[in-house]
Every structure is written in structure tokens, then in C-alpha cells.
Structure 1
Amino acid sequence: MKRELSNRHIQLISIGGTIGTGLFLGASRSIAFTGPSIMLVYLAAGIFMFLVTRAMGEMLYMDPDQHTFINFISKYLGKPFGFFSGWTYWLSIIFTGMGELTAVGIYFQFWFPKMPMWIIQLMFLAAIMSINLITVKFFGEAEFWFAMIKISAIVALILTSIFMLATDFKTPIGAVGLTNISKNFQLFPNGFKNFVMAFPMVFFAYQGIEFVGITTSETKNPRAVLPKAINQIIIRILIFYIGSLIAIMLIYPWQSLDPKQSPFVWIFKLLGISWAAGLINFVVLTAASSALNSILYSSGRHLYQLASDSSGKFNKNCAVISKNGVPARTICLSALAVAVSPIINSIPTIKDAFSVIASVSSGAYLLIYILTLFAHRKYTQSKDYLANGFLMPKPKFFGPLTIAFMVFILISMLFQKETCPGVVTALIWLVVFGGYSLAKYKNENS
């Protein structure tokens, strides 16, 4: 592969990995769920996700030629865990891609309500796949501009709130100000249970934050770029997520938010933009495009790594780099797997395909993050440990604490009817495929 991604590309890819469609459409729902304390949820989850990326980053900094952090699980926990993690992570990315493709169909029907969703999804998937098949530099450029659109919308929201606050702006339901947050303030206005149940919701918004690490093997000067990109993640969480939530609640009393309406649409309408709904639909469509673009990039590279580590026909047919320097065959196979999404959406017994897909993806992601943190712990005890490298802060304390946080989210998902099936599916997969992985390598070693 070619190292054609520059610092400019990596910085915007890292931003794109921390801003999803959930912020633009789901902010009202998450605020209504637990009130202003949702900021604590975003902050706590953001800090732990940052620690996960620091653990990954430390290992990738030590060996920047790796195409995926999963290789470190194989190296430090053993081949059975690596085999299990490799396929589980690829499937979790694919399920995330299915969720984004489902969202794309919904957003696009805003303009073309009569067009069948499956046609929209397949056309869109083909376009995003084409971007990934050209060159890695072209992918980086596309992701750069996708991220710029998302950032511009959020910056516009924050600046609008500052302007309204400074001018004592009055909306149809009252004045803009801090009283919209502090009036009748309660830490858990809808109960402590709702506060806890908000964590899985926010966790899904942060999924994919590790994609910036996967770009390492195709980055110019990876040891210079990687620490900057990862360290700035926490700053972006504070600015873009927490900043957006504060801006929304300054303008609109949180008790009056409609969970089904995007707060971005309502706020831009206050500025006199009559076509605000169309504008925000374009932004969320761009956000979904950005996510899908990164997903095909990551899943293609990851499947290529799985093929490289295997043997036989899978290795021969898939561990291939095109003349453009991209793993074209594995990108196409990953896109084909994501294309199952329209089939899932057409199953009559599945009323909310997006929630089902998202919960399965979250359950699998949690397992991978936990195994990655265990691998990092083993790495710090190994002869490979780079004492002057890009070190995770206080790993003996924050490593186990982050694992405990991931287990906490996994358990909390069991108590929600929307997410419980996903966790159960992930646990069944852990037992069945995990058992197969152990047996496979036991037989090979015997």
C-alpha cells in the first residue's frame, strides 16, 4: 500500500471519526432522555473512548507498519484470540456500515419519497465504493471535505448560540440563556436508570473513533502524525459534542425539546432559513457518507489483513493490492456484505432495523475493545515495550478502569429492550465462535 495520507487528511479523518449522524438527529432524544446530565455521559464515555485509542495508539506507534490493531491481539494474547477478534471486528464494522446505509436510505427519501429504499442504498454504496477503489489519497480528500461539511454545521450552531446569548435573543418560547439549563435543575430529572441507560446510546455515537489508527500504515511520517491526531480527539469531543449540547440547551429549554425533531433544524429556522430541514438533511447525509466511506476503507484493509494471515484460496484471491495501491478485492467484498442491509430492512418482522443492527454492532465492538485493552496490558509487560514511545497515561490504573467501563455498558444494554437482543447475539457469538477459535488452534498445535 502507498503512504499518501497527509497530516491534513489524518486530522480531518480523526474529526470525522468522532462526529456521527447521532449528533445531528439524535441530540434532542439524548437530551430529553436524561436532561443536562447527558453532558456528563458524553464526557465520561468520551474520556474512556479516548483511553482506548491511546492504548491502540501506543502499540501502533511502536509498530506503524501494521494495517490493523487486531494484529496486536494475536501477538500478545495468542492466535485463537486474534482469529476471533479479526473476524468479529470485521463483522462489527460491516454491521455499523449496514446501520449507516439504512440511515442513508431514510435521509435520501426526504427528497425522493417515492423511490424504493433498496435502489437508493445500492446506488449510494456503489458510489462510496468507487471512491475507495481509486487511490488512498482520493479517499483521504473525499473524507476531508465530508468532515468539513459536518464541522461547518456544528461551528455554525455554536456561533449562533453565542450570538443569540450576546444579543439577548428571544425565541417564540422564551429568551436564550443559561437559565434554560439551570432552571429547576436536577442531575437525574428522569431517574438514575435513564442516566445509566444513556451510556449505550452515547457509546454507539463514538463507535469508529479508532479508525484514525487504521490509517497509520498509509500515512506519511506516522510517528509524527499519530500522536497529534489521537491527542486532539478529547479536545474535539469537548468542542463538538459538549459544545453542541450546551448550544442547543442555551437556545431551547431542554424540557421542551421534541425527541423526534433535529434541534439543528429548529435553530436554523430561527435564523430565518426556511429551507433548514433540507440543509440539515444534506448535512446528515454527508455525515452518513463520511461514516460509510471510512467503514469501507477500514473493513477493506482489515479483510485484506485477515487474508494475508490466512492460507489457501482466501489468501491467494484476497491478499491482493491493485495497481492503485488499494486492496480492491477486499473493499468490494466488504461492500457486498454491507449490501445485505436492504434485505434486513425488507424483513417484515423487524420493525426497527437500525436499532437491531446498531445493538449487534455495539455488542461486538465492546468485546473487541476489551480484548484490545488486555493486549495492551500484555504489551506493556513484553520485550517490545517502547518506554520512550507514545505512552497511554497510567496504564495500570486506567487500563482496568476502562475495561470495567466497557463491561458496565455491556451489562446496561441487557436492560433495554432495544439493545438486549444485540448483546445476547454478541454473547452467543462469543461462546460459539470463541469456542471454535480455541478448538481450531488447539488442533493445529496438537
Structure 2
Amino acid sequence: MTDRPSSAVDADQAPPQELKRTLTNRHIQLISIGGAIGTGLFMGSGKTISLAGPSILLVYAIIGTILFFVMRALGELLLSNLEYNSFSDFAADLLGPWAGFFTGWTYWFCWVVTGMADVVAITNYIHFWMPGLPSIIPVLGSIGLLLGLNIIAVRMFGELEFWFALIKIVAIVALVVVGIGMLGFGFTATDGTPASVAYLWERGVFPKGISGFLAGFQIAVFAFVGIELVGTAAAEAKDPETVLPKAINAIPIRIIMFYVCALAIIMSITPWWNINPDVSPFVNLFSMLGLPAAASIINFVVLTSAASSANGGIFSTSRMLYGLADKGDAPRAFGRLSRVAIPANGLLFSCACLLLGSIACLLSSSAMKAFTLATTISSLLFIFIWSIILCSYLAYRHKHPDRHARSIYRMPMGVVMSVVCLIGFAAIIVMLWLQPDTRQALLITPGWFVLLGISYLVIRLRRRSAA
């Protein structure tokens, strides 16, 4: 038996130069569902209902409709050129290098901040079962576990998201089925309050007025954070021309099922004015059935939901750093792939930042205040990312009408709906400004863009001097 030439051996052992398409349709569909169901639905829906009453259904429908068109724009752009690995790539190509730089680093920062909130939430959920456990243990354990599984292979990320999303789906479907049964059999609570759909309009659809309706957008926006994750994962999906449109087209029915139907049933079983904003309405509904394990079951569901969000953040931040490094907008080390086509350096750096940020949140004087601030900043930065996707789409329609004409997946009413959605985002920002607890985040967030602008100028000046 003759030895193979050393060059052939080296070629086999050399790290790959591109991301591999190993995520299947099963993975992409569940990643899409998981991204559309945020932790805010389980834990924040009680507060949104108390703020807006039945009009919260309209709030979720409005945000869901806007984001469906954002996703359609994202889908057409990614499929117009399969060399695009993320929205940072097409932003740089269509809007200019500055857009790629701002989008890539902002999306990275979005998920680090969101991940911090998720890890703090995971720690609190674990304390539900083990109140005496030092907080550093669940922080290190959750980040270490997700890092370890993500660094093995991209399929591990897909499998994690598949099962995390499946748990959320089962929980919501169970709530809908149980709720319909309670309505059908004339369920009456222990205080004598009967279940009735009439609660949805009995005191008016806008019982708290327009101010209450607008206040509902504050938490509702955060519930949709991560919906664009399927676009990041598409770069590593098999047959993206088939699986990406399928995942995006299913978003409207999922929003109706997971948000509108679920919350409508909750408000039909318990009058919205009796819902405790500090308690998950999911826990409350199952508790009404006399299930002693209801709190533990929902705690487990919300724990997996937070873990799903953190898992998606770890995945997406490493891919963004990979794309930024490829353009010279991040250290070259982030652009190197491991032997299993994983941007391991980016994973390690993102997890290190996530660890430090999570510890800082837990050590702050008010962990809940830090959590609220982190989630609001994250929501604002995601609105920026979603807006960049729409602006990139408008530039694409202007610069590449030929690509649009050949597109296999066109955004309906593309230009008109892009403008409408951008106006919608502007209106949401105004609504956030009107709320005292979100105004602070609006004042802090511009500092991030100032920092990015200075960094961008420094990098460009260095390149010119080196040329």
C-alpha cells in the first residue's frame, strides 16, 4: 500500500474555507418557529395584557404583519445571490461598506445583550427549583453547555433549536386545546367567574384607551426578537431555495396560532382585568385545572425558551463575526473556520463577552432593572437591523431590477410595503419614547452608534495609511 502524497493529506486536514450547508428542512422550519416565539410571550404577556387589555391582540398582529414583510424582503435578498451569508453581506453590497460594518457589529451586539438577559432569566428559572444555588453556577453551566454543543458541529445547533422549539410548540398547542375545552365545557373558576369569549369585548377592545394600546408595543416587540434568525441559518441550509420560502411563508399562521389565539383563549378563561401582570398567564391557566405541577411545567418551558434564544444568539454572533472578518471589519482570527466548518474563534469571543456581561448584570444593584434595560436596548437595536433589511431591499430594487425580475421569491408589494414598514418602525420608536421605563434605553442606545462611527473611521484611516 502506497502512502498518499503529503500535499493530499494536508489538503484533507486543512480547515474548510467556507461554511457548510448541513442544516436540513426540519432544522430550518423549527428554527423559524423558535425565532417567532420569544420568551416574552410566556413571561411578558401578563404585563402586556394588563397594559392594553384585548387590544394587545391587535398589537401582536400589527408587529407580526410588519415583520412578515421584513422576512419576505430578507428572503428575496438572500435568494437573489446565494453568496450572501447574512444581511450584513447584502447591506454592504447594496448600501455600502458602512452599512455592512454597522449591521454586522450591531447584530452581534444585539445578541450579546439579548443573551445577557436570557442567561439572567435562565439563572432565575433554575433558582425556582434550587433557590440556594450560587448564581455563577447556572451562568457558567448554561454558557458552557451551549458553547460546547455549538462548537462540535452546526447540526448540533440545529438539533438544539429543533427540540427547544418543539417544547414551546407543545406548550402553546396544549394551552389552546385545553382552553377550547374549558370554554366548551363551561369552566367556572373557584371564585365563580365563568369562562367566556365575551371578556374580549365586554369592557371595550381598547379599555385602557390609546395610551394603553401604545404601551403594549413595549414588551410585544421583544417577543419577536430572533424572528430573522432563520435568515442567518439559511447560509448553512441545504437547498435554501426551497426551505427558506417555506419557513417564511408559514410565519403569518404561526403568529395567529401562537400569539393571537393563545392570548385570546387566556383572556376568555380569565377576564383580562383579573390577570396578574407579574405572573405568567400560562401558569395561571394550567393551575386553574388543579395541576400542582403547572408552575414547574411552565418554568421548564420558559427555561428552554430562554436557552433557545441564547443558543440562537451564540450561533448568529459567531457567523456575523465571520462575515465581518471576511470584509476586514473584524480581526482576521474571527474569519478562520475549524475543521468542522465552525467559526470557533468567534464563538469563544462571543461567549466570553456574554459571560462577562451576564455576571455584571447579576452583580448590579438591581438585576431586574438591568434586565429591563438590556431587553429594551436589544429591541431598539433589532428595529435598526430590521430597518436596514428594508433599506437594502429598496436599494436592491433600484440597482438590480434584473435580479428582481428573475426572482423565484418576490416580496409582495415590495417597495410600497418596505416604506410602510419603515414608517411603522418609526412609530414604534415614538411609542417607546412615551414610556418612562423605555425612554432611558432610547437615550443610551445612540452611544453605541457613535462608538461604531468612530471605529469605522479609524479602520478606514488605517487602511488608507497602509495602502
Q: State the TM-score, normalizing by the size of structure 1.
A: 0.95
The 5-angstrom pairing of residues 30-429 of structure 1 reads 30-173=48-191, 174-184=193-203, 186-310=204-328, 314-315=331-332, 317-339=333-355, 340-348=357-365, 352-383=369-400, 385-389=403-407, 390-429=409-448
3-state SS of 2:405 partner = coil
Q: Describe the superposition over 1:80-102 as per-residue Cα deviations: whole angstroms up to 9, x where unpaired.
A: 22212221111111111111111
Residues 378-406 of structure 1: CA deviation (Å, up to 9, x unaligned): 00112362323211111221111111111
Contact 1:64–1:223 at 8 Å: present in 2 too? no
Q: CA deviation at 1:350?
A: 6.2
Contact 2:110 2:382 (C-alpha < 8 Å) held by counterparts? yes
What is the number of equivalent residue pairs in this alignment? Answer: 443
The residue aligned with 2:12 is: none
- CA deviation after TM superposition for structure 1 residue 283, in Å: 0.6
Task: Quote the Cα distance in structure 2 between the aligned partners of 1:204 and 1:359.
Answer: 7
Aligned residues: CA RMSD: 1.8
Identify if the C-alpha distance between structure 1 residues 157 and 278 changes in structure 2 by more than 3 Å, giving closer, same or farther: same
Q: Distance in 2 between matches of 1:90 and 1:58?
A: 23
Equivalent pair of 2:40/2:219 in contact (CA under 8 Å): no
CA contact (8 A) 2:101 2:329 kept: no
Is this contact kept in 1: 2:88–2:99, CA < 8 A?
Answer: no
CA separation of 1:286 and 1:350: change in aligned 2, threshold 3 A: closer
Q: Which residue of 1 aligns with 2:6?
A: none
1:432 Cα deviation from its structure 2 partner? 4.5
SS of structure 2 residue aligned to 1:183: coil
Shift of 1:345: 2.4
Deviation of 1:444 (Å): 5.1
Amino acid corresponding to residue 270 of structure 2 in structure 1: Y
Aligned-pair CA distance for 1:198: 1.4
Kindly indicate whether the alpha-carbon contact (under 8 Å) linking 1:102 and 1:345 is maintained by their aligned counterparts in 2. Answer: yes
Structure 1 residue 170: Cα displacement: 1.5
Q: Which amino acid counterpart does residue 144 of structure 1 have in structure 2?
A: F
Greater gyration radius:
2
Asked if the contact 2:53–2:206 (Cα under 8 Å) also holds between the matched residues in 1, the reply is yes
Tell me, which stretches of 5 or more residues in structure 1 are unaligned?
A: none
Preserved contact between residue 81 and residue 437 of structure 1 (Cα < 8 Å)? no
Structure 1 CA distance for aligned equivalents of residues 229 and 373 of structure 2: 23
